[in-house]
Amino acid sequence: MNKQIQAIAERLKALREICDISVQEMAGVLDITENEYRCYENGERDFAFSFLMGAAEHLGVDMVELLTGDSPRLSSVSFVKKGEGLDIVRRSEYKYQHLAYFFKDKRAEPFHVRVTPEDNSQMHLNTHDGQEFNYILSGSMEIEVDGVRMIATEGDALYYDPTRPHGMIAHGSEPCEFLAIIIK
Which residues lie closer than 8 Å to 81 by C-beta, 6 or more apart? Answer: none
Question: Would you give the DSSP letter of residue 105?
Answer: S
3-68 CATH, one of 1.10.260.40, 1.25.40.10, 3.40.50.11540, 3.40.47.10: 1.10.260.40
Phi and psi angles of residue 100, each rounded to the nearest 5 degrees, phi first: -145, 35
| Per-residue pLDDT tens listing for the chain (184 residues) | 588 889 999 999 999 999 999 999 999 999 899 999 999 999 998 887 788 888 999 999 998 898 888 888 888 898 999 999 988 866 677 888 999 999 999 999 999 999 998 766 688 888 888 999 999 999 999 999 999 999 999 999 999 999 999 999 999 899 999 999 999 8
Which residue, 175, 178, 170, is CA-closest to 154?
A: 178
**Which residue(s) pair with 111 in the sheet?**
98, 180
The torsion of the CA quartet 88, 130, 44, 171, rounded to 10 degrees, works out to -60
Helix (H, G, I), strand (E, B) or coil at 74: strand
Distances in Å between the Cα of 35 and the Cα atoms of 14, 38, 58, 84, 102 are: 18, 5, 19, 36, 33
Q: Any idea which architecture 86-183 has in CATH?
A: Sandwich (2.60)
Query: End-to-end distance of the chain based on CA atoms, in angstroms?
Result: 29
Distance CA 63, CA 3 (A): 18
Q: What is the pLDDT of residue 23?
A: 96
Q: Tell me the domain boundaries of the chain.
A: 3-68, 86-183
Q: What is the DSSP letter of 58?
A: H
pLDDT at 171: 93
Q: How far apart are CA 13 and CA 67, in angstroms?
A: 13
Contact of 98 with 109, CB cutoff 8 Å: yes
